[in-house]
Amino acid sequence: MSISQEVIAMILGGGAGTRLYPLTSSRSKPAVPIAGKYRLVDIPISNCINSDIHRMFVLTQFNSASLNRHIKNTYHFSAFSTAFVDILAAEQTPDNPAWYQGTADAVRQCLRHLTAFPSEYVLILSGDQLYQMDFNKMLQHHKECGADISIATIPVVDREATEFGIMKVDEGNYIRSFIEKPSRDVLPDWVSDTGPAMQQKGRNYLASMGIYIFNRQLLFDLLLKIYPDATDFGKEIIPASIDAYKVASYQYEGYWTDIGNIHSFFEANLELTADIPAFNLFDNTKSIYSRPRMLPPAKISGTTLEKTVIAEGCIINASRIEHSVIGIRSRIGYGSTVVSCYMMGSDFYETIDDITNEQTRGIPPIGIGKRCYIRNCIIDKNCRIGDDVRLNGGPHLENADTELYTIKDGIIVTKKGAIFPNGFVI
């Protein structure tokens, strides 16, 4: 049996995503645009496709309209193939009138949709992580260990360990103990042998990546019979299973980051501008798939570019862009400077008549106007930033939330479709 028939994947759409607000005010976490042209959900789906796993369910609940539309418009397979990416939206049924209460509860409510698709293993993934991983290797490790459950783990340093579930394993790579977000004073008791290369980097703790392989029948038994009231994998199902079943650790040492808050999201995007980024968008064997938009090439005039990623369809006349990611259909006017920013771009082009009519009403066109200075910002989709606007983010700014923007950790996040008049200053 090929891996495409052995494994079926379930991608969790996540909760309300409050820590990514305001980016999640009108969209779910997996639908948040990343790297200028993708959505976060494209990452786990692409990892599955690259691993020859072609049957995927995406579980959604909060603000799921744009995510559903993106998946519907993106992932089309041959009529002669059994491949699919199907959306399972939270639904009320006679048996269960409640919404998803957690990761385990979400999978439990959707198990009935799996019964029509035979598989030996169920791969459970998060929809809001950035990584490139070959699930074939994890499945092979799962089989070699004779495991009932496998958890992907990644070595982390002590300052990160307090944010994750931390594991300890024995010589056979079986997990023997687990602690959720340990305090600093108990960390010395949770040091693991992560290997010489990881230990040299101070990465001495094994953190759960929230990526699981379950033997199919065991998953059904755990959720329906053994722990029918458990709502979360990380806090309930996994800790309760360690002593009762063979739970293996699959240590992954590549790039991985959890897009949990505005700062991590901002840093993950700007890291893509490095000469050799840890997350490699240019790897033929690890392609990231997304919606084909048939856009024209970017057009750039008179602009100095330094460590900048620019998506297709942009019209740029800026003076300088540095250490920034510029998304699809972005427009930046003459004399403007953009430094350390992620500009998501726009969903459509305005016509000359549209722009003329808006300007007569004092509304700037979509994009960044002339002679602006934009620094340490996330510019959400379809924002209108007028001429001579100065948005200067940094640690000197206090956290704030207004009708037009939010400030978190010194990062200015403009709200989707916000209008900043000429001369506006932060």
Centroid of chain to Cα 235: 21
Q: What does the pLDDT average to over 169-187?
A: 88
Answer for the pair 209, 227: CB distance below 8 angstroms, yes or no.
Answer: no
CA separation for the pair 409, 240 (Å, rounded): 37
CA separation for the pair 365, 352 (Å, rounded): 10
Q: What does the pLDDT average to over 205-230?
A: 94
Q: Which H or E element spans position 378? A: strand 373-379
Q: Which H or E element spans position 104? A: helix 103-114
CATH 3.90.550.10 placement within the chain: 3-273
Quickly state the pLDDT bin for 42 (edges 50, 70, 90): very high
pLDDT at 4 over 70: no
Neighbours of 48 (CB within 10 A): 24
DSSP code at position 94? S
Work out the burial of residue 425: count CB atoms within 10 Å of its CB; fewer than 13 is exposed, 13-18 middle, 19 or more buried: exposed
Instruction: Pick one of 3.40.50.300, 3.90.550.10, 3.40.30.10, 1.20.1440.230 as the CATH number of 3-273.
Output: 3.90.550.10
DSSP code at position 393? -
Three-class secondary structure of residue 171 per DSSP = coil
pLDDT of residue 407: 97
Quickly state the pLDDT bin for 172 (edges 50, 70, 90): confident
Q: What is the dihedral of CA 259, 262, 265, 271, to 10 degrees?
A: -140
Three-class secondary structure of residue 325 per DSSP = strand
pLDDT at 134 over 90: yes
Instruction: Report CA Rg, the chain.
Output: 23
CA separation for the pair 138, 149 (Å, rounded): 11
Neighbours of 285 (CB within 10 A): 8
Tokens matching residue 97: 């009138």
* Fold of domain 293-420: UDP N-Acetylglucosamine Acyltransferase; domain 1 (2.160.10)
pLDDT digits (tens, 9 = 90+) for 368-383: 999 999 999 999 999 9
**DSSP result, 243-295:** TTS-EEEEE--S-EEE--SHHHHHHHHHGGGSSS-SS-TT-GGG--------P
Q: What does the pLDDT average to over 142-167?
A: 93
CA separation for the pair 167, 190 (Å, rounded): 7
Cα within 13 Å of Cα(176), Cβ side:
9
Q: Which residue has the higher pLDDT, 170 or 95?
A: 170
Cis peptide preceding 94, ω within 30 of 0: no
Pick the range with the lowest mean pLDDT from 10-19, 114-123, 216-225, 231-240: 10-19
pLDDT digits (tens, 9 = 90+) for 294-347: 999 999 999 999 999 999 999 999 999 999 999 999 999 999 999 999 999 999
DSSP code at position 7? E
Quickly state the pLDDT bin for 1 (edges 50, 70, 90): low
Q: Region of 127 please: left (phi>0), alpha (psi -120 to 50) or beta.
A: alpha
pLDDT at 102 over 90: no
CA separation for the pair 368, 401 (Å, rounded): 21
**DSSP result, 64-81:** -HHHHHHHHHH----TT-
CA separation for the pair 319, 367 (Å, rounded): 15
Phi, psi of 124 (to 5 degrees): -110, 125
Quickly state the pLDDT bin for 98 (edges 50, 70, 90): low
CA separation for the pair 310, 129 (Å, rounded): 22
CA separation for the pair 46, 58 (Å, rounded): 13
∠ CA 159-163-169, nearest 5°, is 90
Phi, psi of 299 (to 5 degrees): -120, 120
pLDDT at 97 over 60: no
* pLDDT > 90 fraction of the chain, expressed in percent and rounded: 64
Q: Which of 388, 379, 390 is nearest to 422 (CA)?
A: 388
Q: Which of 416, 426, 425, 307 is nearest to 63 (CA)?
A: 416
Answer for the pair 20, 14: CB distance below 8 angstroms, yes or no.
Answer: no
Longest dimension (CA), the chain: 72
CA separation for the pair 343, 341 (Å, rounded): 6
Mean residue pLDDT of the chain comes to 91
Q: What does the pLDDT average to over 74-99?
A: 76
Give pTM, 2 decimals.
0.93
Of 57-61, 77-81, 91-95, 126-130, the range with the highest mean pLDDT is 126-130
Q: What does the pLDDT average to over 9-27?
A: 85
Quickly state the pLDDT bin for 234 (edges 50, 70, 90): confident
CATH 2.160.10.10 placement within the chain: 293-420
pLDDT at 287 over 60: yes
Work out the burial of residue 188: count CB atoms within 10 Å of its CB; fewer than 13 is exposed, 13-18 middle, 19 or more buried: exposed
